[in-house]
Structure 1
Amino acid sequence: MELRLLRSFIAVAETRNFGAAARALMTTQPALTKQIQVLERQTGNTLFTRGRHGASLTAAGEALLADSTDLVRRADALALRMERVAMGAEGVLNVGFGMSTIDVAPRSVAAFRECHPAVDIRLEDMSSSVQFAAIREGSVHVGFVRLPAPPEMGTRVIRRDQLALAVPSGEAIPEPDRSSLRECLQDRPLIRLLKDRGPGLAAQTNELFTDLGCSPTVMYETSDLLTVLALVAAGAGWSLVPASASAIVPEGVQLIPIDLESAVWSVGTAWLLKSQSPLVPLFLQSVETNVKG
């Protein structure tokens, strides 16, 4: 049954008059009569009886009215919801983030959720390489990543991050110049995040070691940055972490940023250029506003 026919049927049932129903539907009475006749043929029942007091529902008409009203109401609600989804007013948005955006990503998601409560936005911690794969397959819509990104993705730079030495409080802090860093890191056992948990961080530290010409060793490896920092706080050793980790550094740890080109990288947002989701540009605009703020 066409929704158009059901709307005509409901209009006649509510007004109990074909003429009034035709005017409400902005059609002619003969056209409306034909629509009701089509619906009667489809249902195999007479739906109205006509008399001096207008059109009255038959028993079959009464039976059809409740379901027709519910069906049209749900169809209208679905159309409205699809319109809201197309406008970005609701839907699902999956967002990835890594260590370098452990502060800005949750804050950006919270700000977006406050402005768009009907959007189901989900945040998941994963490395940049894993985010790129998830963006390609569509399970992540926007990622907070280490740049550069693959060519099929759009990007916006948020800020620059850099490596920092995480040293137990109270220990002597090395001078941040190249020769002092080389001397203090050479053969020093470090606490390190597992490579498969932070491949970008591992690559950046290796680039720094090559630049300095030193070869630290590994004392502990763990899969969680908070555990790395906890071990440093406990005096177990030093580590190299993103300077942005200052947002989660516990008491007992001091960070010394390393101002060398080999220790610096850009972080930003990435998304699939061919994405059709209206939520992606809406979220990117929110991030830009939130970061500037």
Structure 2
Amino acid sequence: MSRIDLMRAFVTLGEIGNYRAAAESLGVTQPTLTKQIVRLEDILGHQLFFRSRQGTELTEFGRAYLREVQPLIHEADRIWDLGLRMASGDAGKLAIGFTFSALEVMTHALLAFRHTYPEVELSFDDISSQTQLSMLREKRLDIAFARWSGAGDLASRLVARDHLALVYPAELAGVITSADSPALRKQPFIRLKQAIAPGFEGVVQRFLDWKGISPHSTHRVNESLVQLRMVEAGFGVALMHASSVTRIIDHSRIVVQDIASGPKGPALDWQTGLYWRRDDRNPVVRAFLKIVREAIPAPVEQ
């Protein structure tokens, strides 16, 4: 009989105050519970209960000892229940990385996951695709929403496709009507720093080279939301992820025009994948992957 079993028997009897009811609560016979209490009293060298026909009452020592033992048993029960929830994927932690291009699909997945698993602690960071995959391999991330590259050492699933969008202030709507408008060449461009999004910035540069655009000035920023704010304030134009900007802009102040890859032009679209470690047995990760399969239909790979 372990110490924790003896203390649990004592706490249960001390709280209920009746041998029969306490034994039923513990799932043991009344003689077994009696032996456990006697054993604990022998170890401690003190009587814990007064026994009479009227019932069971704690001794002064028993009351003092109960105050000390109760928190331990209740915490042990909490940890046991937590372990069961963690093993089933109902509790635990999940660290997720994403790019701005994956914002829409990741948000959809997180909302569905949080609805089913509200006790899982989520953390998520906007990180470049290359850095995400490195962090995933180093076990600093559990899940990555990154540019689709088919990394062979990681498990992956295609979750979204995206393309460029031209974003400019609404007051320029009369002079900029398409990506070929001459007025576009005269505008400052607001771009992400190369180190922040090297893959995406490569697509932006392909577009500029294709159109022969050499901006007379370029502002470099750290975040896509800063790009949007600067465009809205009239400081320039930007080339951004179409899927992510459409729902978060004020259409009365910003214009968004999709830019599709033409048959004779460079590739201006890309795909986003969900990545995880092949050998990851974390129940929370498995639960998240199940939710993603149910909530996000896989697009056809191009």
Pick the TM interval, shorter chain: 0.7 to 0.9
> How far apart, in 2, do the equivalents of 1:56 and 1:85 lie?
38
1:204-223 to 2 correspondence within 5 Å? 204-207=203-206, 212=210, 214=212, 216-217=214-215, 219-220=217-218, 221-223=220-222
**Which is further off, 116-125 or 230-239?**
230-239
Determine the structure 2 residue equivalent to 1:259. Answer: 261
Contact 1:95/1:124 (<8 A) preserved: yes
- CA offsets 1:180-213 (integer angstroms, 9 cap, x no match): 79x9999997432111121121223345567x49
Contact 2:19/2:33 (<8 A) preserved: no
Q: Which letter maps to 2:259?
A: P
> How far apart, in 2, do the equivalents of 1:189 and 1:53 lie?
89
- Unpaired runs of 5+ residues, structure 1, are none
Does residue 274 of structure 1 match 2:274? no
Determine the structure 2 residue equivalent to 1:116. Answer: 117
> How far apart, in 2, do the equivalents of 1:287 and 1:215 lie?
40
- CA offsets 1:214-266 (integer angstroms, 9 cap, x no match): 57356222223233344445665543322223233443323132224621211
> How far apart, in 1, do the equivalents of 2:233 and 2:47 lie?
85
Do the aligned partners of residues 62 and 219 (structure 1) sit closer, same or farther apart at CA in structure 2, a change above 3 Å counting? same
- CA offsets 1:35-55 (integer angstroms, 9 cap, x no match): 444423432323356667777
Determine the structure 1 residue equivalent to 2:247. Answer: 247
Q: 2:289 aligns with which of 256, 259, 284?
A: 284
Identity %: 29
Aligned length: 285
Does residue 171 of structure 1 match 2:170? no
Does residue 201 of structure 1 match 2:206? no
Contact 1:155/1:270 (<8 A) preserved: yes
Does residue 6 of structure 1 match 2:11? no
Does residue 89 of structure 1 match 2:87? no
For residue 99 of structure 1, report the CA deviation from its aligned partner. 1.6
Do the aligned partners of residues 62 and 288 (structure 1) sit closer, same or farther apart at CA in structure 2, a change above 3 Å counting? same
> How far apart, in 2, do the equivalents of 1:237 and 1:26 lie?
76
Secondary structure of residue in 2 paired with 1:102:
helix
Q: Which letter maps to 2:241?
A: P
Do the aligned partners of residues 22 and 235 (structure 1) sit closer, same or farther apart at CA in structure 2, a change above 3 Å counting? closer
Contact 1:155/1:271 (<8 A) preserved: yes
1:91-240 to 2 correspondence within 5 Å? 91-148=92-149, 150-167=151-168, 168-174=172-178, 190-207=189-206, 212=210, 214=212, 216-217=214-215, 219-220=217-218, 221-232=220-231, 237-240=236-239
> How far apart, in 2, do the equivalents of 1:237 and 1:53 lie?
86
> How far apart, in 2, do the equivalents of 1:75 and 1:52 lie?
33
Do the aligned partners of residues 189 and 258 (structure 1) sit closer, same or farther apart at CA in structure 2, a change above 3 Å counting? farther
Do the aligned partners of residues 51 and 166 (structure 1) sit closer, same or farther apart at CA in structure 2, a change above 3 Å counting? closer
- CA offsets 1:56-90 (integer angstroms, 9 cap, x no match): 64433333334334432332222112211222222
> How far apart, in 2, do the equivalents of 1:190 and 1:45 lie?
82
For residue 104 of structure 1, report the CA deviation from its aligned partner. 2.6
For residue 117 of structure 1, report the CA deviation from its aligned partner. 2.5
Contact 1:190/1:219 (<8 A) preserved: yes
Q: Which letter maps to 1:216?
A: S
Contact 1:103/1:247 (<8 A) preserved: no
Do the aligned partners of residues 286 and 23 (structure 1) sit closer, same or farther apart at CA in structure 2, a change above 3 Å counting? closer
**Which is further off, 264-273 or 253-262?**
253-262
TM-score, normalized by length of structure 1? Answer: 0.76
Q: Which letter maps to 2:246?
A: S
> How far apart, in 2, do the equivalents of 1:114 and 1:16 lie?
42
**Which is further off, 254-263 or 75-84?**
254-263
